[in-house]
Structure 1
Amino acid sequence: MKSISILLSILILSIISTSTLFSQDSIFKDISPDELEIILLGEQSHGDGAVFDKKFEMVKELHENYGYNLLVFESGMYDNFKANELYQNKQENIKIFNQSVGWLYTTTKVFQELLNYLEKHPEMKILGFDSQESNLFEEYFLDDFKTLCSKNRIEVSNETYMEIEKTMVARDFEKYAFNKKDSTELYNRINAVIEKLDQIPKNDIKTKVIVQTFKSVFSDLDFGLKSLQKEKIAIQNPRDEQMAENLIFIKETFPNEKIMGWGASYHFADKLNQFEYTLETESFIKKQIAIIDSIQGDSHTSAEEEIAQIKELKYAVPMGQILKEKYGSKLFSLAFTSYEGLYYDFSVQQIIPILQPPFKSIESDFKKKSFKSDLYVLDDIPHQFYSSALGYLPLSANWENIFDGIYYIENMYPPEYIDYSDKTTEITNYNKTDNITGFIFDNDTSTPINYVDVYYSNLNSSTVSNSKGQFSIPRKESSKEYLVFSAIGYESDSVHISSIKSENNIRLKKSKDDIVLNEVVVSAARVELSAEEIIKKARENIEMNYVQTPYNQSFNYKVITYSTKDSVIKGEEAVIETYNKKGINGSVRPENNIYAEIHHLRTNTDIYDKKNTLNGIGSLWVVLNRDIILSKTNVLYRSGSYDLQKDGVLNYEGQKVYKINFSNNSPGSYSTGYGYPAPIASSGSIYISSETFAVLKYKHDIERAEYETKKTKNLVKQNHSIVQTYKNVHGKYFFNLLDVSTNTKVFSPKHEYLYSIFYKNNLVSNDIETNAVKTIKRPLTELKQDYKKQLTDSYWNDKPMDFSMDTDSINTKS
């Protein structure tokens, strides 16, 4: 039997002799792209910067020299169709594709260069083939679907629409997985809709796309349900099958266009099940896990799980295999590989070094022979060898049966991400001012009053008292200004700025006008409204009550973590300026319309600097997803999932305020915004003005199901608490406080209490600007990306660091 090294030598000679280096002025040499219909450009891990750069070069060459006009990403099919529609109709600029393609690509500089290129080449289109939809699908699909049904006289009940929104759009379907009756009824409803959709004429592209998307997303729902039911499914075969169908659909919809596919090499592979699992591969898996353990800890999958997943490749049917069977020699599938370097691993959100490939690998042989980075065609090579073309893990296989070619890049580097240091906004210089501080008490009981609005009578500057009734606000010198103190259920008080002290004790009296019983009439002229009607009016009056134009709002944002395991409190706080480009209205992805910059930041530990940028104040976008007006996943928009009950009428600044208690009758991500593990209970109260029907205050407590950690098998239980207040600023309402807390209890596999972790996110408004609005370019989700914390910042000089936490109030063991 010939040795592997001899086979590799034959392999290299074969590659060089048959199809190696052709003309140096073309990336593709003589593979004749003009004779192909589809070229699939793979990547090892989605975090391969050198691959991204090279693929951008390939896209330009394929377009300019060979007439390839469709660039189809591994991202939502409808997402990208909608982005094209919004862009072509001039409702959005080219940046809308940042919401359709997916952040793992769109946060890179090369993708922004790609968008600039597309803007200059309008004959090109970005499309998507994935069945897993995202931002624009969640925002627009249901309305487009309802319009299509109405236009074609397809009758769909409100209940069915709600189930479609809940399961297919919001992906809240856990309860269906374990209830045969409900899941059967769901499938029957959706299949009945599909039968009707199949009967309508498909005379335009939008109709075709909506119908195909409905079927595609239903297949993804089916995949998700079966996964929850622990049904044995090989790898991602159902997803790959649907992605293949989607790409075929795109090709048939645009029959005269050539396609460039951009996605993971795994999905573009053919006959991947022919690989051989070896001890060499297993050794590399264990080495990779050890590296990740040293960086990340034990929160990721174990070596045993990784090994099991790799062995399952024996049953894999990637989309590339399906497409190859259909298009044959008209399709060219290209993988990439590297000998050394670094890549960004999204599973652990860290830069990871590439392990040196085995001696008996194509990468090692290329390195040994000093081959340069280039494209090598794998035709008619009947030999088995190692390659790390899939996730930098060496697999032994006849690779010519899996890919048509391999592009070798000797040294890999992570993607270069967008640098927002060139800001549109100027960081404001801090001018030292005195702060007005103090405590606010109940006049009769002397107990502290929390969440009291503290604001200037004629300015937009404000704050909110904390859980101890304590407040602090910069002093504004003005002969006309009053500092106002307001809380629901109390009579407001105001103090002229000239007579207020640096330290103050404010006492508020309970309102005598509060109606503690459920009154049938608020005034003689008003007819009683039910809780449901009040919630509906609050929803209908959003555009009237809340600003619908761009605005700036600055906040103090504080994040605190406390663990009973080590009794250490970790804190980070910042002054942040935001830009909301569309105003205040409901969205399933409010962060897409909000941009922000950090003005000042401090921390009591470097823990947040060592972790990924979504930790600490980088989580602001998550917190704003809990906003009752901005986000749709709450009682205001999903009131059908709640039982509502009026609980009296209270006084607030001279107006009557309805208090409505709510209890979730169908807890899940659809109605609470918290996904897997699903909430099992949620309840709270909402306070609504009887005059404007604006939401003034919102409290919500959510309990989630217990889940098991992957590696330690510990049991984890979480409870969340949301508190929010809104205030009127010159006739429009803006939120003043958003406080989101999480209490996490950890138990052993035998359910013995181990420790608790308490997270607190506190966001308080500073100033609001609706006239001279400044545009900010940095997306909210990239708030901490490339931010360099100042070692000394005079802004904090007169502000004591307070990351204290009321640990006595934390319920741990129960």
Structure 2
Amino acid sequence: MRQIKLMVISIIVLIGCSKSTEEQIVEEMTVLNNATDFDFFDYFLHENEILILGEASHGDGKTFKVKSEMVKHLIDNFGYNTIAFEARDFLEMEIINGRTGINSLAPYLNQNNWVRQWSPWGPSQQIQPLVEVAQADQNLKFIGLEPYASRNIHHILIYLKSELAEINAEIFDPQKWDLLQGIHLNLLNRKPDLISSDDYLSYLDYLDENFNHLKQLGDNQKNNHILFLLQSVENLHTYVKISQIHASDLPEKEALNKIVKLRDKQMAENLMWHKKRNPDAKIIVWMANFHGARDLKNIRFADGNPERYKKFNVFGEHISNTYGDKVFSIAFTSSEGKSKMPYDFEGIEKQIIEPEDNTLEKTLENTNADFGFVNFREIRRTKPSLKEEYFNSIMLGYVNQNGKWLNAFDGLFYVRKQEPAKPIK
């Protein structure tokens, strides 16, 4: 009898061990009743200060809708009071926040409809709940994560010239600044062929000179406005360095690695700048899964060098290293449907989502769930051996890649059938 019992136990163990990593993860999924069933947040968000909401692709209309409703729920029920945006720049959102002293910059920005000016999300019908929240809640604050957008870069230069001439009078050189303005206009008008390597170096050196002068001011002089100017100059410096790389002869992938490194670090610095001055801020971050990952080092890049993700830190890695478990990063993924940005421009194509059989998404598709949530952080705690397992997923741009995905994010929101972003009429 004892031998029979041992045999039965052995069979059960073998059956359990025969399950794939993907199956074991999907077993932990909370199946949601609908796209706005957000009760799962009750179990882990109360101590959270920074919640990153990703998306597999910037054309995921169904995800836009879910995230927009999610933002409203989080503000109403969990006290979130700040939204940080990929693809909105630092200075734009400071204008929206009502910062004094930058009124001269306000006219170029449509403050009554600024969310709809936000590309590629703004033209999408599916973000209407987000538009309504941003317009209705006067207590909300916003963070622009990007260095600068080309649409406002000319206005920023005029503003900084006025400010730096007044504050840095002893080192400010109007003739040199006018020379830099010519370089700047070529950047604005996308004429990199008219900008030499020496031009870029002169521009960056002069920004460094002004930045260092501001930084060396005594603490009694470093009021909020000076600290804001420091951050503004730092963002402009990053913008120029990124432009310099774009104009270089570097191979495309090498250039992109350098740009990601600069851009994501600056995005993180902009959020940390706001958080330092607003310690009670509870921040929702809207961005791509890629930027929001806590750890990409053990994901094998599918198109080329498999070690590529080890060459830089993305935004989520910087933020997680600074704030630890106060950050919770949620990736979004789908197993069928289509994705397309809300434009009809040439080159904007519809992406068909077709996960391969060996992916997590295919395992998710085999369930009956239309929507679900998997708490990766809880799996790492309760089943620590799984976090060392490599498996395949398409959650970065719907490209099949192998890696330790449980460490890349804290959670995964599953939307079975994706839909393209629909342009507003």
Does TM, normalized by the shorter one, top 0.5? yes
Q: Is the 8 A contact 2:56 2:396 kept in 1?
A: yes
Q: Is the 8 A contact 2:69 2:129 kept in 1?
A: no
* Gap change, CA 1:81 and 1:406, over 3 Å in 2: same
Query: Is the aligned partner of 1:146 residue 2:142?
Result: no
Correspondence for 2:22: 8
* Gap change, CA 1:94 and 1:396, over 3 Å in 2: same
- Aligned partner of 1:274 among 287, 290, 298: 298
Determine the C-alpha separation between the residues in 2 that align with 1:4 and 1:177: 61
Q: Is the 8 A contact 1:219 1:238 kept in 2?
A: yes
Q: Which amino acid aligns with 2:373?
A: L
Q: Is the 8 A contact 1:177 1:225 kept in 2?
A: no
Q: Is the 8 A contact 1:342 1:351 kept in 2?
A: no
Partner secondary structure for residue 126 of structure 1: strand
* Gap change, CA 1:56 and 1:183, over 3 Å in 2: closer
1:373 positional shift:
0.7
Determine the C-alpha separation between the residues in 2 that align with 1:226 and 1:353: 29
- Aligned partner of 2:243 among 217, 224, 231: 224
Determine the C-alpha separation between the residues in 1 that align with 2:420 and 2:226: 40
1:167 positional shift:
4.2
Structure 1: give runs of 5+ residues left out of the alignment.
282-306, 420-814
Normalising to structure 2: TM-score of the pair? 0.80
Post-superposition CA distance 1:278-334 (Å, at most 9, x none): xxx5xxxxxxxxxxxxxxxxxxxxxxxxx2377633423211111111111000111
Query: Is the aligned partner of 1:122 residue 2:118?
Result: no
Correspondence for 1:161: 177
* Gap change, CA 1:165 and 1:251, over 3 Å in 2: farther
Q: Is the 8 A contact 1:68 1:259 kept in 2?
A: yes
Correspondence for 1:571: none
Q: Is the 8 A contact 1:358 1:364 kept in 2?
A: yes
Q: Which amino acid aligns with 2:204?
A: Y
Q: Is the 8 A contact 1:78 1:137 kept in 2?
A: no
Determine the C-alpha separation between the residues in 2 that align with 1:350 and 1:229: 26
* Gap change, CA 1:33 and 1:176, over 3 Å in 2: farther
Determine the C-alpha separation between the residues in 2 that align with 1:169 and 1:374: 49
1:393 positional shift:
0.8
Correspondence for 1:340: 336
- Aligned partner of 1:369 among 367, 370, 373: 367
Q: Is the 8 A contact 1:71 1:260 kept in 2?
A: yes
Q: Is the 8 A contact 1:176 1:225 kept in 2?
A: no
Determine the C-alpha separation between the residues in 2 that align with 1:269 and 1:157: 43
Determine the C-alpha separation between the residues in 1 that align with 2:210 and 2:291: 30
What is the aligned-residue RMSD (CA, Å)?
3.2
* Gap change, CA 1:169 and 1:216, over 3 Å in 2: farther
Q: Is the 8 A contact 1:168 1:218 kept in 2?
A: no
Correspondence for 1:208: 227
Larger RCO of the pair (alpha carbons < 8 Å, separation 6+): 2
Partner secondary structure for residue 98 of structure 2: helix
Correspondence for 1:51: 63
Correspondence for 1:316: 312
1:341 positional shift:
0.6
Determine the C-alpha separation between the residues in 2 that align with 1:107 and 1:93: 15
1:414 positional shift:
1.1
Query: Is the aligned partner of 1:67 residue 2:79?
Result: yes
Correspondence for 1:133: 149
* Gap change, CA 1:9 and 1:240, over 3 Å in 2: same
Determine the C-alpha separation between the residues in 1 that align with 2:153 and 2:18: 50
Determine the C-alpha separation between the residues in 1 that align with 2:142 and 2:158: 23
Equivalences for 1:405-804 in 2 at 5 Å? Answer: 405-419=411-425
Determine the C-alpha separation between the residues in 1 that align with 2:280 and 2:407: 28
Determine the C-alpha separation between the residues in 1 that align with 2:123 and 2:17: 46
Aligned residues: 383
Correspondence for 1:327: 323
Partner secondary structure for residue 143 of structure 1: helix
Partner secondary structure for residue 135 of structure 1: coil
Determine the C-alpha separation between the residues in 2 that align with 1:36 and 1:134: 34
* Gap change, CA 1:186 and 1:248, over 3 Å in 2: same
Q: Which amino acid aligns with 2:391?
A: F
Determine the C-alpha separation between the residues in 2 that align with 1:104 and 1:402: 25
Query: Is the aligned partner of 1:187 residue 2:201?
Result: no
Post-superposition CA distance 1:109-143 (Å, at most 9, x none): 2445423322221001232111142434433x233
Q: Is the 8 A contact 1:351 1:414 kept in 2?
A: no
Partner secondary structure for residue 243 of structure 2: helix
Percent sequence identity over aligned pairs: 24
* Gap change, CA 1:157 and 1:332, over 3 Å in 2: same
Determine the C-alpha separation between the residues in 1 that align with 2:137 and 2:216: 37
* Gap change, CA 1:66 and 1:110, over 3 Å in 2: same
Determine the C-alpha separation between the residues in 1 that align with 2:297 and 2:195: 30
- Aligned partner of 2:262 among 238, 258, 262: 238
Determine the C-alpha separation between the residues in 2 that align with 1:4 and 1:160: 70
Correspondence for 1:712: none
Q: Is the 8 A contact 2:289 2:331 kept in 1?
A: yes
Q: Is the 8 A contact 2:298 2:403 kept in 1?
A: yes
Determine the C-alpha separation between the residues in 2 that align with 1:165 and 1:309: 39
Query: Is the aligned partner of 1:393 residue 2:411?
Result: no
- Aligned partner of 1:251 among 262, 265, 275: 275
Partner secondary structure for residue 308 of structure 1: coil
Correspondence for 2:93: 80
Q: Is the 8 A contact 1:342 1:414 kept in 2?
A: yes
Determine the C-alpha separation between the residues in 2 that align with 1:371 and 1:80: 38
Correspondence for 2:7: none
* Gap change, CA 1:110 and 1:165, over 3 Å in 2: farther
Higher-helix-fraction structure: 2
Determine the C-alpha separation between the residues in 1 that align with 2:417 and 2:32: 22
Determine the C-alpha separation between the residues in 2 that align with 1:27 and 1:143: 49
1:257 positional shift:
0.9
Partner secondary structure for residue 47 of structure 1: coil
Determine the C-alpha separation between the residues in 2 that align with 1:134 and 1:227: 14
Structure 2: give runs of 5+ residues left out of the alignment.
1-13, 381-385
Determine the C-alpha separation between the residues in 2 that align with 1:164 and 1:310: 40
Partner secondary structure for residue 393 of structure 1: coil
Q: Which amino acid aligns with 1:37?
A: E
Post-superposition CA distance 1:518-538 (Å, at most 9, x none): xxxxxxxxxxxxxxxxxxxxx
Q: Is the 8 A contact 2:300 2:307 kept in 1?
A: no
Over alpha carbons, which structure has the higher Rg?
A: 1
Correspondence for 2:408: 402
Post-superposition CA distance 1:323-382 (Å, at most 9, x none): 111111000111110001111157964342424211121111111122331221112132
Q: Is the 8 A contact 1:219 1:242 kept in 2?
A: yes
- Aligned partner of 1:199 among 205, 216, 219: 216
Q: Is the 8 A contact 2:26 2:374 kept in 1?
A: no
